């Protein structure tokens, strides 16, 4: 499909690590409001925009802008939103051959309400994302030479499971962001290389209370014992806890004025994935993720707010991580 005004600003060099992202593609309908309306309240919004989003698409863009070579697998409808989302990915140099166009289903849409504080509230209408299908042969071909398969939970869980199975057979590492949260089938655990969860997801998956850094470390250790090689619990303004066989560390967040928190987690994840694929240490990869997320939070929109590698490398460096007991 021709890509109007294709720029491929972030096309990867020949030695770039390859990442395959299987996930959702949404057109984000973003409404800026002074505050979220209460039940029965009507208020004037400040603006409305249609911006490319979806956790899968955002994470693919996050990987591409950090210099990864990226293949996107997903599904859009045969409509203007679907065309716009594919074109947006292609402009970032992402291979969209694995994005299927479903003839009779509309492209996924996310209604995103952003308050002046930068906090958001999101409702997703999955549309074509619910029609994502993993063809094992195609996935096997797509995974050849890939450092990571990146997965989230905005596409059907059985297809996520199937993709993990194929990745295991192909010897490709899996980075899972189980968002929006659902219980993880037992078979998933041993197949996860890197698990990235927020506080709420850590609490639900571990069954332990998670309120703050110390709790997050206890939950991260519990999650690590289920099979993953690495676990990250992201804590918003409190940074992140990273856990692996060497123990648990706390990474502080950078102080930024929040304009829009949408896609901050996806930006963190894409940066983490590419950095690990490049051979950075786990802690260095988490730090780069925190720097990228801080830049994202200071800008509006999902994909438009995701920074390039040069921007991340020029950004402030957070303090060194602290070992947790």
Is residue 77 a known part of a binding site? Answer: no
266 catalytic, yes or no?
yes
Name which of 83 and 280 has its Cβ closer to ligand RIB.
Answer: 83
Distances (CA, A) of 143 to 20, 148, 167, 229, 278: 7, 8, 7, 20, 17
- Torsion of the alpha carbons at 195, 201, 204 and 208, rounded to the nearest 10: 80
* Count of CB atoms situated within 10 Å of the CB of 253: 17
Q: What is the DSSP letter of 187?
A: G
Verify binding: residue 26, ligand RIB, rule CB under 6 A.
Answer: yes
Residue 24, annotated as binding a ligand: no
Should residue 199 be labelled a site residue for ligand RIB when binding is judged by CB under 6 A?
Answer: no
Is 299 marked as a binding-site residue? yes
Minimum separation from the CB atom of position 59 to ligand RIB (A): 8
Residue 11 vs residues 57, 61, 66, 315: alpha-carbon distances, Å = 16, 11, 10, 22
* 54 is an annotated ligand-binding site residue: yes
Q: Is the separation of the CB atoms in 27 and 110 below 8 Å?
A: yes
Q: Considering the candidates 137, 266, 283, 310, report the single residue annotated as catalytic.
A: 266
Cβ neighbours, 10 Å, residue 31: 14
How far apart are alpha carbons 325 and 323 in whole angstroms?
Answer: 7
194 makes contact with ligand RIB (CB under 6 A): no
Among positions 10, 20, 22, 28, the unique one binding ligand RIB when judged by CB under 6 A: 28
Would you say 54 and 82 are in contact if contact means Cβ atoms under 8 Å apart? Answer: no
* Contact set for ligand RIB, span 298-317 (CB under 6 A): 302
**Cβ closer to ligand RIB: 26 or 271?**
26
Residue 302 CB, shortest distance to ligand RIB, in Å, is: 4
Residue in 32, 55, 191, 291 binding ligand RIB, rule: CB under 6 A = 55
Separation CA 170–CA 173 (nearest Å)? 9
Part in contact with ligand RIB (CB under 6 A); list of ranges 54-62, 192-200, 201-209, 277-285: 54-62
CA distance linking residue 124 with residue 106, whole number of Å: 13
Q: Which is nearer to ligand RIB, 51 or 163 (CB)?
A: 51
Binder to ligand RIB among 110, 147, 202, 286 (CB under 6 A)? 110
Tallying the residues shown for the chain, one arrives at 325
For residue 249, which of 280, 217, 281 has the smallest C-alpha distance? 217
CA distance 175 to 192: 6
Under the binding rule (CB under 6 A), the answer on residue 251 touching ligand RIB is: no
What does the H/E/C string look like for 272-304? HHHHHHCCCCHHHHHHHHHHHHHHHHCCCCCHH
Q: In the window 131-190, what residues touch ligand RIB (CB under 6 A)? A: 154
- Tell me which residues in 262-301 interact with ligand RIB (CB under 6 A): 262-263, 265-266
Residue whose beta carbon is closest to ligand RIB: 53
Interacting stretch for ligand RIB, rule CB under 6 A, among 21-29, 131-139, 205-213, 272-280? 21-29
Catalytic annotation, residues: 266
Which residues fall in the annotated binding site for ATP?
Answer: 198, 234-239, 265-266
Which residues fall in the annotated binding site?
Answer: 26-28, 54-58, 154, 198, 234-239, 260, 262, 265-266, 296, 299, 301, 305
Q: Which residues bind ligand RIB (CB under 6 A)?
A: 24, 26, 28, 53-55, 58, 110, 122, 124, 154, 262-263, 265-266, 302
């Amino acid at each position: 499909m021709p890509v109007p005004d294709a720029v491929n600003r972030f096309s990867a060099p020949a030695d770039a690590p390859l990442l395959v992202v299987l996930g959702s593609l949404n057109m984000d309908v973003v409404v800026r409001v002074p505050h979220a309306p209460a039940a029965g309240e009507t208020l004037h919004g400040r603006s409305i925009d249609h911006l490319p989003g979806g956790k899968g698409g955002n994470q693919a863009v996050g990987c591409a802008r950090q210099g990864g070579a990226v293949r996107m697998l997903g599904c859009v409808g045969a409509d203007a939103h679907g065309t716009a989302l594919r074109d947006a990915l292609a402009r970032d140099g992402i291979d969209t051959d694995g994005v299927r166009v479903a003839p009779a289903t509309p492209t996924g849409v996310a209604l995103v309400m952003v308050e002046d504080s930068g906090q958001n509230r999101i409702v997703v209408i999955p549309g074509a994302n619910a029609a994502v299908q993993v063809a094992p042969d195609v996935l096997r071909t797509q995974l050849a030479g890939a450092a990571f398969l990146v997965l989230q939970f905005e596409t059907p869980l059985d297809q996520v499971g199937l993709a993990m199975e194929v990745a295991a057979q192909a010897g490709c590492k899996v980075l899972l962001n189980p968002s929006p949260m659902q219980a993880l089938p037992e078979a998933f655990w041993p197949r996860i290389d890197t698990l990235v969860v927020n506080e709420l997801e850590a609490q639900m998956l571990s069954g332990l209370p998670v309120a703050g850094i110390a709790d997050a470390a206890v939950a991260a250790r519990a999650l690590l014992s289920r099979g993953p090689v690495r676990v990250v619990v992201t804590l918003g303004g409190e940074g992140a806890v990273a856990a692996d066989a060497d123990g648990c560390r706390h990474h502080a967040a950078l102080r930024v004025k929040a304009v829009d928190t949408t896609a901050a987690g996806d930006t963190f994840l894409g940066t983490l994935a590419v950095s690990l694929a490049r051979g950075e240490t786990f802690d260095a990869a988490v730090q780069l993720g925190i720097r990228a997320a801080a830049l994202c939070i200071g800008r509006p929109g999902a994909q438009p707010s995701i920074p390039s590698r040069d921007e991340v490398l020029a950004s402030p460096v957070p303090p060194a991580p602290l070992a947790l007991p």
